[in-house]
A = this chain, B = another copy of it.
Amino acid sequence: MGERSTEILYGSNVTIGEHVIIEPGVVIGNDVTIGNLVVIKQGTNIGNGVQIGDLCVLGKRPASNPKMSQKPPVDLPPLMIGDRVKIGCSVVIYCGVNLSEDVFVGDMASIRERVSIGSSSIIGRNVIVEPKTEIGSRVTVQTSSYITSDMVIEDHVFIGPCCSTSNDKYMGLGNYPHQGPMIRRHARIGNNATLLPGITIGEQAVVGAGAVVTKDVPPGVTVAGNPGKPIKSTQ
């Protein structure tokens, strides 16, 4: 990554709250508002018109302990925050994340490293996103949902509140490859649904509230129940 800049670059019309800590190499665009008591880590890149709430940590580096099988990567690109992104209060976002323009991140959400989020998508309050996941454009992930790692969420997907996903079929046993669910375009997931590792939710498929989805859902099909079974299809 070459030498890191130690300067901080400020655009015009930047408003910064009280007790804000900005580390070296941060780049801030024009017309940016940053709240109070915010920590912006080394190299974070903030676009034009971005709004950041109070008490956030932006650009955090991952850590690990002896029990974790995967060690965090040592060299990650900086956090990139696109134009007009809005970030709530008490948000924690890691380095190696890319937020496209007009993304909205609610209060108390957290996004780990190596995640990209497409334009105008909404990451609700208290949503947690794990590493190495791709989220498309105009996606909604509602409050308190959990997005596991190694997952793909295509454009226009709607995920209701409190949904849960997983990527580890063997639940911590051994060193198997992990694979989160794939959710295809325009699929919709009801609140508190449970998605198992590696399944695909097809285009325009619907998962009912509280459903436990243990296998693939074909395009246009609606599933409900535990385990989730088809209850209707548009195709």
Contact with B along A33-64 (1 / 0, CB 8 A): 00111010000000000010111010010011
Contact status A89-B212, CB under 8 Å: no
**Segment of A1-9, A13-21, A24-32, A73-81 engaged in the interface with chain B:** A13-21
Scoring A51, A108, A140, A164 by chain B CB atoms within 10 A of each residue's CB, the highest score goes to A164
Interface positions, chain A 126-167, Cβ under 8 Å from B, are 126, 128, 130, 138, 140, 143-144, 146, 148, 158, 160-162, 164-166
Tell me whether A114 is interfacial, beta carbon within 8 Å: no
Number of copies: 3
**Chain B positions within 8 Å of A66 at CB level:** 102, 120
Q: Chain B residues with Cβ under 8 A from A67's Cβ?
A: 102, 104, 120-122, 138, 140
Q: Within the assembled complex, what's the spacing in Å between the Cα atoms of A63 and B161?
A: 19
Chain B residues with CB under 8 A of A196: 190-191, 209
A164's partner among B102, B121, B122, B162 (CB-CB below 8 A) is B162
Q: How many residues of A contact B (CB 8 A)?
A: 73
Q: Are A192 and B164 in contact (CB under 8 A)?
A: yes
Q: Which residues on the B side are within 8 Å of A190 (C-beta)?
A: 166, 171, 196
B-chain residues with CB within 8 Å of residue A90 when the two chains form the complex: 55, 57, 90, 92, 108
Q: What would 5 A/B residue contacts be, using CB atoms closer than 8 Å?
A: A67-B121, A110-B125, A146-B191, A172-B188, A194-B209
Residues of A at the B interface (CB closer than 8 Å) are 17-19, 21, 35-37, 39, 51, 53-55, 57, 60, 63-68, 84, 86, 88-90, 92, 102-104, 107-108, 110, 120-122, 125-126, 128, 130, 138, 140, 143-144, 146, 148, 158, 160-162, 164-166, 168, 171-173, 188-192, 194, 196, 206, 209-212, 214, 224-227
